[in-house]
Amino acid sequence: MKYILKKITKNIFYISIVFILMLFINKVVFAVSTLNKKLYDYNSYYYQWKFGKIHYTAMGSGKPILCVHSMRSGSSSYEFSKITKHLAKTHTVYAIDLIGFGLSEKPKITYTAYMYVQLLHDFIKDVIQEDTDIITNGHSNSFVTMLCVQNANYINKLIFINPGDLTKLSRNPIKKYSMLKYLLETPIIGTMIYLVINSKTQIKRQFKNNYFYNYNRIGEKFISSFYENSHIGEASNKFVFASNLCRYNNVNITSALEQINNSIFIIQGNDRMDSCEDIIADYKKANASIESSIIYKTKEFPHIEKPKAVLEVLSLYLN
């Protein structure tokens, strides 16, 4: 009996050491990854929302435009930095860090599509305080589309850069994803898994293989900004990551697209992971008045890879 107790105590001791080492490694990785401070902070402001402070930038004067970044891990308003200065010559340009991203707060909660719809509604109402055009990237277009159904009076033209696939957006969380979400949100093991998935090596691989058509054309600064953003706030980052991965931010917008009367323009990278032709066809099937343009030799971030080409399209559409 004494031998068994001694063995159990010994195993508990070793396990404790492993967990302490993992905790220490997690802390060191978070600290080192945010040393460079690549995320820009000029023209920065904060909006006090009910779930935490929301960071945004504002510049220029004229008819307002709101830029809403993608939902990929590491995304932030910084991804619009190559086009906001030019747009600010004729518009007041707001670029928001959605809650859980960038320099906004990252509460330890489940993030849902409805919460982001609420955030955008309140931000436009309290900060912009007038009708606005909106530019989105990735599946954040789904939040804006749902907002249009609820409060069309706030919003004018919509520009969706590489909008979310309608079929994928309609997929709801299932039981196994609830279990995965629970694992990812655990204090030590979940944090370690998150850090491995969002290591600089993995982020570079994503940019090289999936995000950019010509990886060598993009400066290290953008890679570093995504890496830093995915680590600001330490372990709190894994909560929005888990919600995204497990489909809690998905919402079926097909019916909403059929209902809204807002003018919609889609800008697509021709070599994105999902078929750009199929996505455009699905959106036009839901709303025949949607217009579109393809930016060639780009993937998921045409506004970063070819900002001049995107600005040319925007100038024609917005003006």
Look at residue 16 in the predicted model and tell me its pLDDT.
42
Count Cβ neighbours within 10 Å for each residue of 96-113 and write b for 16 or more, e otherwise: bbbbbbbbbbbeeebbeb
> What are the pLDDT digits (tens) for 254-304?
999 999 999 999 999 988 877 788 899 999 999 999 999 999 999 999 999
Whether the pLDDT of residue 15 is over 50: the answer is: no
Report CA-CA distances (Å) from 234 to 81, 135, 194, 267, 275. 24, 29, 11, 34, 35
CB atoms within 10 A of CB 284: 16
> What CA–CA distance (Å, rounded) separates 215 from 280?
25
Share of the chain above pLDDT 70, in %: 86
CB neighbours of 28 closer than 8 A, spacing ≥ 6? none
| Mean pLDDT comparison of 40-44, 182-186, 257-261, highest-scoring range | 257-261
What are the chain's domains?
A: 44-318 (3.40.50.1820)
The more confident residue out of 15 and 164 is 164
Residue range 114-130: mean pLDDT, rounded: 96
Q: For residue 138, is it left (φ>0), alpha (ψ between -120 and 50) or beta?
A: left
CB neighbours of 175 closer than 8 A, spacing ≥ 6? none
Look at residue 40 in the predicted model and tell me its pLDDT.
56
Whether the pLDDT of residue 25 is over 60: the answer is: no
The predicted model scores a pTM of 0.88
Average model confidence (pLDDT) across the chain: 85
Residue range 10-27: mean pLDDT, rounded: 43
> What are the pLDDT digits (tens) for 193-212?
888 888 888 888 888 888 88
Share of the chain above pLDDT 90, in %: 58
- The answer to whether 267 and 161 have CB atoms below 8 angstroms apart is yes
> What CA–CA distance (Å, rounded) separates 213 from 156?
31
> What are the pLDDT digits (tens) for 51-89?
999 999 999 999 999 999 999 988 999 999 999 999 999
